[in-house]
């Protein structure tokens, strides 16, 4: 998910752990109250067994299948929902994206 969606979740009182390759975005996210990690692997370590991961990226069906296999191999019984979104940055920050 992007910055707008993540900060909307924070303002709605959800706990959000995030990572971004662009360090200034991580700083902005931390300043907004988010928890940050140094890698995707690091932020995923906080997931409880049985947690659901919602994938909101535009990726191929093959990628989704590969990711789902990797999540199952982690031994935490993680679930994956492929849920691309539409609406852009403004609607993301308002929490009005179409899933």
Average pLDDT of the chain, as a whole number: 85
- Residues 66, 75: Cα–Cα separation, whole Å: 15
* pLDDT tens per residue across span 12-28: 999 888 888 889 999 99
More confident site: 3 or 74: 3
39 in Cβ contact with 19 (< 8 Å): yes
As a whole number of Å, the end-to-end CA separation of the chain is 12
Can you tell me whether residue 82 is helix, strand or coil? strand
Q: Give me the domains of the chain, ranges plus CATH numbers.
A: 3-94 (3.40.50.720)
- Report yes or no on whether pTM surpasses 0.75: no
Q: Where are the alpha helices (DSSP H) in the chain?
A: 3-11, 23-31, 40-44, 61-73, 88-94
């Amino acid at each position: 998910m992007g910055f707008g969606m993540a900060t909307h979740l924070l303002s709605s009182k959800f706990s959000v752990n995030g990572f971004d390759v662009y360090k200034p975005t991580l700083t902005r996210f931390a300043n907004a109250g988010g928890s940050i990690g140094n890698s995707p692997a690091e932020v995923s370590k906080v997931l409880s067994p049985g947690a659901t991961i919602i994938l909101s990226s535009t990726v191929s069906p093959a990628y989704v299948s590969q990711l789902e296999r990797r999540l199952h191999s982690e031994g935490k019984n993680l679930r994956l929902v492929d849920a691309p979104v539409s609406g852009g940055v403004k609607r993301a920050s308002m929490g009005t994206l179409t899933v």
